[in-house]
Amino acid sequence: MKRGARMGISDLIAGFLQECLDETGDGVLEVQRGELAQRFNCVPSQINYVMSTRFSPERGYIVESRRGGNGYIRITRVQVDRETLLMHVINSLGDRVDLPSARAILGNLAEAGALKEDLARTLLAAVGDKALGAVPRDLRDQVRADVLKNVLILQV
């Protein structure tokens, strides 16, 4: 039941942000993470989840974020070619990627047509916990990020 409730709030937040983006006219929206969390009576990490899954580069958005007291989130709607999209994803991966994030990134890239579906599934298997079983748990997210970056670079 809890998962369904979380998915419901994610849909509400995403819908609200999409409406606000549509109203801006220029495809740029700036919001306060804290105010948004307060409006939807959720934790700020829920806002982060919506940003990473619904407003990702693979879906045609660039999200800039600044944390702290005056932290904000700026969402920009963009149209980019396949190579630009892949490079943006590569550059935004960071040093560590957890498995749910890898799953979302690869799913979004496949959905956007930047990766073939069979390659996305294969890559997900390659960075999954079964494949990384010999890697100590505390290093898996780092290895996962390295593997993702290297394979995605070959796709550019």
**pLDDT tens digit string along 6-17?**
458 989 999 999
- My answer on whether 93 and 146 are in the same domain is yes
- My answer on whether 65 and 107 are in the same domain is no
SS3 133: coil
Report the percentage of the chain scoring pLDDT > 70. 92
Whole-model pTM? 0.64
In the sheet that 72-77 helps form, which strands lie side by side, from edge to edge?
A: 28-31, 72-77, 61-66
Residue 63's domain is classified under what CATH number? 3.30.56.130
**Span 80-137, pLDDT tens digits:** 788 988 998 898 888 999 999 899 889 889 988 899 999 999 999 999 999 999 999 9
Count how many domains the chain has: 2
Domain boundary, last residue among 28, 52, 77: 77
Q: Which domain holds residue 19?
A: 2-77
Q: Which residue has the tokens 């409406």?
A: 19
- My answer on whether 95 and 145 are in the same domain is yes
- My answer on whether 91 and 69 are in the same domain is no
Q: How many CB atoms lie within 10 A of CB 48?
A: 16
- My answer on whether 37 and 18 are in the same domain is yes
Asked if 52 and 101 touch (Cβ cutoff 8 Å), the reply is yes
